[in-house]
Amino acid sequence: MSNYPELHLLVEGEQIGTASRETIDVLDPATGEPIAALPKATAADLDASLEAAANGFRRWRATSADEREAVLRKGAALIRERASVIGAAITREQGKPFKEAVGETIYCAMLLEFYAGECKRLYGRTLVRPDGQRVEVRHEPVGPVAGFSAWNFPALNVMRKVGGPLVAGCPVIVKPSEETPAGGLGIVQALLDAGVPGDVLQCVFGVPDEISRHLLASPIIRKVTFTGSTAVGKHLAKLAAEDMKRTTMELGGHGPVLIFNDADVDKALDTMAGNKYRNAGQVCVSPTRFLVEEDVFERFRDGFIERAKAVKVGNGMDADTQMGPMASQRGLDGIQAKLADALDKGAKLGAGGNRIGNQGFFHEPTVLSEVPLDATIMNEEPFGPIALINPMKGEAAMLEEANRLPYGLAAYAWTQDAKRRMRLANEIEAGMIAINSGTVSAADAPFGGIKWSGYGLEDGAEGVTACMVSKTVHETA
């Protein structure tokens, strides 16, 4: 099939294709039709990958910072070169517009370029006592890492799983989502082609719970990193606890957006409506609950409805498409159930509300307003193209609602008042806050949440230290 590669496992540098393994179908969400078969790893494949990772660890941790940096820089260059090929595969398997898919791939290269520089910044420290005693604080790689990632960013989620560990000196066995395998395979292959050894970076697929149980049961794996739902994150954290493995959990959110009377409403609308419908709303940092101060409520709601209606929905491979289909039937069913519940409980429908056509998983960009707090959608992540816009009275009530849920990933606020901005930065419970901006992620800044949105960080220097353990050596002459 054009625009879509042959799929395989990557174990110890060997490609294992579909001929000798059971397979899973990969669907095109724009048609609902299969586009490729994906091989499933056997228990023997997983055991081979574990043994290889143990060997790879001995060698990779001993490489110099210069060597690691050079390989990662080459990997980034290859990812840039291949961005349109990887991007086309992402659009085919996940649905997002081709331009967004290429942007995601380029962002992977930028992240890797930042990480490459971090190879030379793995510092320890030495404390020298007046009596000649020295205390040396060393940071060492934690060991082989198992990474499991979600389908919403097929390439970027995988990049985030492998970048920090590779800098720190850890091998990784990564399992991208079976629903969107090619984006992650593209990233892994570029790194292997750049010179990362085949026993240092491996890629497997299968039944998610079987793969994670198998890998986590092994003492070889010392860290687990996961992107996905809070429910699965809690499950994996429990399995990791059995063997005291370290964990990084990048889980769901329910992003509040506080729009104050003094906000630049047009800028807020242009920025946040664009953010809301990006990737059909299937973004963990998506803006979700719009809490709008009374005086600007109607203007904001009406402006949002206008922008939602103008979004061009279509096949992600068409040049003028601004929003593609949802990634799966499961996602489409999920938002339709949450929408029905909200409307039943009295929410007002401002735009959209329906599935588009009966082929593929398309849904209209949707706006709900005056949504009651007991509607499921006000409490569980919609993970779809739905904005929830409610009128609010004053800062205290807006803060209370922003912090009401157990999630704390991304939050947004729009206000011209500098003192208020400081209060919001202090009081909003979230891992990342954007004020008068829609951007919550940068290669050199940590990405991650608090509360049920997870713990441990990716990106920035923190993405590397999350893959290291400390050893303190007390030495007397």
Positions touching ligand NAD (CB under 6 A) are 148, 150-152, 177-178, 208-209, 212, 227-229, 232, 235-236, 250-252, 284, 330, 334, 381, 383
Q: Which two tokens stand for residue 27?
A: 């669907």
- C-beta separation of 166 from 458 below 8 A: no
Q: Which is nearer to ligand NAD, 15 or 376 (CB)?
A: 376
Tell me whether residue 284 is one of the annotated catalytic residues: yes
Alpha carbon distances (Å) from 41 to 159, 180, 272: 21, 16, 41
Which residue is catalytic, options 119, 284, 381, 395? Answer: 284
Sequence-distant (≥ 6) Cβ neighbours of residue 103 within 8 angstroms: none
Q: How far is the CB of 149 from ligand NAD (least distance, A)?
A: 6
In whole angstroms, the minimum distance from the beta carbon of 293 to ligand NAD comes to 28
Closer Cβ to ligand NAD, 439 or 470, answer by number:
439
Instruction: Provide the angle, in degrees to the nearest 10, between the axes of the packed helices 43-60 and 208-216.
Output: 50
Instruction: Give the distance from CA 198 to its chain's centroid.
Output: 25
Q: 408, exposed or middle or buried, with CB in 10 Å at 0-12, 13-18, 19+? A: buried
Q: Least separation, in Å, of the C-beta of 205 and ligand NAD?
A: 9
SS3 14: strand
170 belongs to the catalytic site? no
Q: Which is nearer to ligand NAD, 152 or 415 (CB)?
A: 152
Which residue shows structure tokens 């292959």?
Answer: 189
Helices 156-168 and 181-194 pack at an angle, to 10 degrees, of 30
> Token pair of 427, please?
């009081």
d(CA 305, CA 79): 38
Please say whether the beta carbons of 420 and 395 come within 8 A: yes
Burial of 306 (0-12, 13-18, 19+ CB in 10 A): middle
Nearest approach, Cβ of 235 to ligand NAD (angstroms)? Answer: 6
Nearest-10 crossing angle of helices 156-168, 65-81: 160
Nearer to ligand NAD, 28 or 458 (CB): 458
E-assigned strands of 294-441?
348-351, 366-369, 386-392, 407-408, 410-414, 432-435
Closest CA to 405 of 385, 434, 375, 426: 375
Task: State how far the Cα of 165 lies from the Cα of 68, in Å rounded to an integer.
Answer: 11
Strand runs (DSSP E) across 377-449, as ranges?
A: 386-392, 407-408, 410-414, 432-435
| Least separation in angstroms between CB 137 and ligand NAD | 33
Least Cβ distance, residue 458 to ligand NAD (angstroms): 11
Active-site pick, 250, 395, 429, 458: 250
DSSP classification of residue 219: T
Residues marked active site are found at: 250, 284
